[in-house]
Structures are given as structure tokens and as C-alpha cells.
Amino acid sequence: MKKAFLILLLPLLAFATVHKFYISVTNVSYSEKDNALQVTNRVFIDDINAVLKERYDIDATLGSDEESALGQEYLEKYIRSKFRITRNGETVDYTLLGTKYDVDVIILYVEVTNIDLPKVTSIGIENEILTDLFDEQQNVVHFNVAGKKKSFVLLKSDTKGMLNL
């Protein structure tokens, strides 16, 4: 009986593979109090470490006791090259306020100040984070601005999402 069970179970186990998901989640909201767009971006730490190693040949070791200032510096350099925000079709500067770790995720805090919301007709996000390393990368973007909500799944072949106000 045990042999029969193993014979039936073995083919099923042979086809079972561990599949890793490559995903980030970005939330974009507007703060009336601060007159600013506030953006949080959640990305898996191991994926960010891998892309920093591949792209810049550094062991950033983000999220560990060995994390260095150099790792944070290259993280910001990478984020600025792969993540853009537009207002009314024009790219805007943003401040990377900082990072926080939550288990296996790094949370990036980004802010765009001096937003005159009545004059804003559109807000756009271009997110190419990790698409240069993982073809399967999906960057989910959730907008919640001025009572309008919209979500996008951005891919390597389609990296932009826009909320029209």
C-alpha cells in the first residue's frame, strides 16, 4: 500500500515547483494638510538587493545588520533612475523621505510638495523598478487622489499609469 501511494505521489511532486512572484505595490495619495502627493512603494528586499548587485556590483545587504550608507545611496540612485512622477504631463522632482523595513519588504516614502490640486489635471507614475532584472515583474499602482481611485498593473512592456482629475 505504501509503495502504491509513493508511486502515485511521486509524479505529482516532480511537477510541483516553487514559483516566486515579482511584485511591488505603490500607493499614491494627496495630503491636503501638507499640500503634497505622498507615495509609498513596497518592494521585496531580496529583489532590491539582487538588482543593486547586478546593476552596480555592490552587496547592499539592505534590511540586515550589515546595511551600509553606500547601500542606501545606491538604492536612491536606482529608484531615481526607475521611478518617475508627472503632473499635467511634466516630470516633477520628488523627495525620498526615507525607508522602513517590514519583514521581507522595504517601504520607500516619497513626497512631491507644493501641489496646487485645483490646477492639476493629471498625475502619472512611471515605474520600471526591477523590470530590468525580472521579466515577470509587476508593479501595481493605486491612486487615491481628490476622491478618485484608480489602479494599474504596470509591466516591463507597459510602465506608465495615469490618473486624470
**CB neighbourhood size of 41 (10 A):** 24
Predicted TM-score (pTM) of this structure: 0.85
Distance CA 49, CA 136 (A): 17
pLDDT tens, position by position, 19-77: 477 999 999 999 999 999 999 999 999 999 999 999 999 999 999 999 888 999 999 99
Given a cut of 50, whether residue 106 has pLDDT beyond it is yes
**pLDDT at residue 6, as a whole number:** 43
CA distances from 134 to 3, 32, 35, 74, 156 (A): 41, 37, 36, 19, 9
pLDDT tens, position by position, 82-97: 999 999 999 999 999 9
**Domain-by-domain residue ranges, the chain?**
19-164
